[in-house]
Structure 1
């Protein structure tokens, strides 16, 4: 029989919260030699019966392998945990949630210490990681040679998607996707709030809501095309003027139902602002043109 354990590269994992623990168990189940460290030692020691080597310190964990995976609380924790450690020749994969600026700064920090670096964003919950057909994937950006060399290992817990050699791009994609998710959650929450107190069961609305949101998925692709071409007027089906006029019905209904419009009013206000700036120029546009105001507001 072949001993697969010895044919796979060792790695060290620092950070054993809910996500770190499931990552560790997935690598151990796949017979990857794994050293673990956690500030609360009991979490690391719990993995010893499953085959993990427990490091007493971050330095011991880093010295144990060429591939160092971080799944810590935040970027400042990454800095404090690795402070003063010898990273020369190491490959550092940062699964800690952060901002694009933090990813870029941490990549430069790692390079100064002789390490290759990729930043990452995990798109999934712990329950999705390591599960067959769980749907989780991880976005990676930074050193392409590092990613290609370790891709097989990184894909054990979840699918791996490389999104560019700019180390900030994984976090940028991550936050963009999560921001869209929370916007979606806001709309769903508003919809369910409208029916509370009525003779409409949430389970009656739910399948219609899922079907409708699925049908509206085309907006993702059409918005990307319009932002690329900067053409907001060709092939418009529901123009900005019509949608602004119709938005009054949404707001009046919310008022009648005693529901705050705070989850949907920011987008409606943005459409109205775009229209009022120049009704003749913008009235026939697709609503995607309204988002051009967001960059102006942030300056």
Structure 2
């Protein structure tokens, strides 16, 4: 592998880890950050402006606070001929907006969603999904692979963020459920570490059910109903009563029950719990109509 020059914009925890990885593999690396002090200790060329940093390399990796920060930093920079790889978190439409801006300004754009903590960047524990320019993905795949496992999702720049938002929604739902579960356990005199083996075992056993739910959602066929809406409506009502009685209510349980209630009220009580996803669609349609 030739040691192509690479630029990293942003030296927060993630950006610094990216720069360190490129440097460790022998790539001349130029970095820029609003606070130059963040570059302390890096064996990199420290640019005084973002424009200077972008001009230094054909591959520019952007790792800033948010979409607005990325827009502000790049707005007046000449990016013609550059490959912009943006791993800044944001929404699918923000990624598409940045891709349109890049095209209008003569650059190729690839958006990335990082699944790693900064300390694991550059190891087998790190993976990054990308979408957008296939030319950037193909040209720079070896360099991007230094950061972690590369998965290219397609030409729509918003896809990586689409997956990311969906996965993180599931993650935070899981964390919320875990925190609530441990609070309920403490109220019953059970330590969190004592709870974990049984909780972990049950959550692991849920995997096949989630696969089935996913297949039902994609097909739109909820008739099997092994875990029916009506059954879960009753279970959720009991759980809400129990957690309230223990002094640890959780609004998310009520919100989930409301989704189930809506489907039962529409006559789908004997169908699969997975059908509750259609209640989200109903809420989205109402908002669009409003």
Preserved contact between residue 187 and residue 264 of structure 1 (Cα < 8 Å): no
Deviation sequence 1:184-240 (CA, Å, 0-9, x none): 111111111112243322111011111111111223321221122110013x32211
Deviation sequence 1:257-284 (CA, Å, 0-9, x none): 1111313221122112211121xxx122
Map of 1:112 onto structure 2: 104
For structure 1, list consecutive stretches of 5 or more residues without a partner in the other structure.
none
Aligned pair 1:24/2:19, yes or no? yes
Number of residue pairs the alignment of both structures matches: 285
SS of the residue 1:35 aligns to: strand
Map of 1:181 onto structure 2: 171
Preserved contact between residue 217 and residue 277 of structure 2 (Cα < 8 Å): no
Q: 1:98 aligned to 81, 90, 93, which one?
A: 90
SS of the residue 1:141 aligns to: strand
Aligned pair 1:203/2:193, yes or no? yes
Taking the aligned partners of 2:269 and 2:100, their CA distance within structure 1 comes to: 46
TM-score of the superposition, structure 1-length normalised?
A: 0.91
For structure 2, list consecutive stretches of 5 or more residues without a partner in the other structure.
none
1:210-221 aligned within 5 A? 210-221=200-211
Map of 2:65 onto structure 1: 73
Deviation sequence 1:6-45 (CA, Å, 0-9, x none): x222110000001111111111111122111111001124
Map of 1:255 onto structure 2: 244
Taking the aligned partners of 2:131 and 2:182, their CA distance within structure 1 comes to: 38
SS of the residue 1:127 aligns to: helix
Aligned pair 1:150/2:136, yes or no? no
Deviation sequence 1:136-167 (CA, Å, 0-9, x none): 21111100111111111111111111112111
Task: State the Cα distance separating 1:182 from its structure 2 match.
Answer: 0.6
Q: 1:271 aligned to 260, 270, 286, which one?
A: 260
Aligned pair 1:57/2:52, yes or no? no
Taking the aligned partners of 1:171 and 1:219, their CA distance within structure 2 comes to: 26
Preserved contact between residue 80 and residue 106 of structure 2 (Cα < 8 Å): yes
CA RMSD of aligned residues (A): 1.4
Taking the aligned partners of 1:272 and 1:217, their CA distance within structure 2 comes to: 24
Map of 1:293 onto structure 2: 279
SS of the residue 1:164 aligns to: coil
Map of 2:217 onto structure 1: 227
SS of the residue 2:252 aligns to: coil
Taking the aligned partners of 1:198 and 1:184, their CA distance within structure 2 comes to: 21
Map of 2:118 onto structure 1: 126
Taking the aligned partners of 1:263 and 1:188, their CA distance within structure 2 comes to: 12
Map of 1:137 onto structure 2: 127
Large movers: runs of 4+ above 3 Å: none
Preserved contact between residue 190 and residue 264 of structure 1 (Cα < 8 Å): no
Distance 1:292 1:13, change over 3 A: same
TM-score of the superposition, structure 2-length normalised?
A: 0.94
